[in-house]
Amino acid sequence: MSEAGGLGTLSSPTASGAADGARELRAAIDECAGLTSRPFAVNIPVDDRGHDPAQSFTRTFLEVVFQARAADSAVASQLRAITTAAGDPGAYVAVIKDNELVHQHKVGSTRQACKAEARGVDVIIASGAEMGGHTHARPVHTVVLGPNVTEAVDVPVVLSGGFRDGRGLAAALCFGAEGVAMGTRFIASDANTEWHPNYARALLDAQEGDDITYPGFFGPVRGLRNHGSDLLATVMNDGLAGASLHEWKLAAMRKAQAEGDTVQGLVLAGQVAGALTEIVTVAEFVPQMTRDALQILADLARRLPVAHATSAS
């Protein structure tokens, strides 16, 4: 993604806070730095378990980032941004700034955007409820959330949720955003070498309306409606809860991602999955998306005066 001109973003390991998770993240950072000389970011969820922020897994993972940058000046020049998600980022703003990183924070409402801006984050990623993965308890769609947030805050806004091509990028720019953040589209791309090919296949096969939300780890997640999502409802009805339920969900996600069982496993994906028809090559797709957005905006600028003149006459 970074090589193609986007800001490639590493997600955090699921082994939260554990030494294993820290080692896994450090290895991923070093691997990423070896694959591109361009900027990339790391995504770290906010630990919402009410822990002392100094003891949280958020802090553990941030320390991994700081250490990786301190150890290697090339990594320091590339790894320039942190995206926090899924909680109040306030406790981490100062330490991220002190380490001279750009702090992006992901929100799902205008209220959260204003709060994050007041906390001092540098960039807001406003994600509409159609997004894949963890979504929001009070669903606000991207087309509504975008203009709401860009009107409400002064910091740069990146829009997310439901984007698939240059048309969406052009629309996001029209809403006052600086760009878009995409997840689901790139699961069905040549950049996804880690997950079983059946996962991307399931996204391509999905039709409009095939997505559903179900309880995730921080709130609702969006994925495809399948036997796995039905099974989740059944085990919850049967009383599975707490750590056992957590483990069940992780195993069901692994079943889809690693084993390619997209029938019994949980297939996290956004609503846009229903619109995807092909595996794309990131190196071609990302620059083309930018060119398409610019072309659309230029064409609109040419078309609008004509429309105006016609309606006036």
By beta-carbon proximity to ligand FMN, the closer residue of 1 and 91 is 1
Kindly state the tokens that stand for 298: 């230029």
Interface with ligand FMN (CB under 6 A), residue from 56, 109, 184, 213? 184
Taking CB under 6 A as the rule, does residue 293 contact ligand FMN?
Answer: no
> Pattern 262-281, binding to ligand FMN, x per CB under 6 A?
------xxx-x---------
Taking CB under 6 A as the rule, does residue 131 contact ligand FMN?
Answer: yes
Taking CB under 6 A as the rule, does residue 10 contact ligand FMN?
Answer: no
Taking CB under 6 A as the rule, does residue 43 contact ligand FMN?
Answer: yes
Taking CB under 6 A as the rule, does residue 182 contact ligand FMN?
Answer: yes
Residue nearest to ligand FMN (CB): 183
By CB under 6 A, the residues from 217 to 236 that bind ligand FMN are none
By CB under 6 A, the residues from 78 to 97 that bind ligand FMN are 85
Shortest Å, Cβ 266 to ligand FMN: 9
The site for ligand FMN (CB under 6 A) is made up of: 11, 43, 85, 106, 127, 130-133, 160-163, 181-185, 268-270, 272
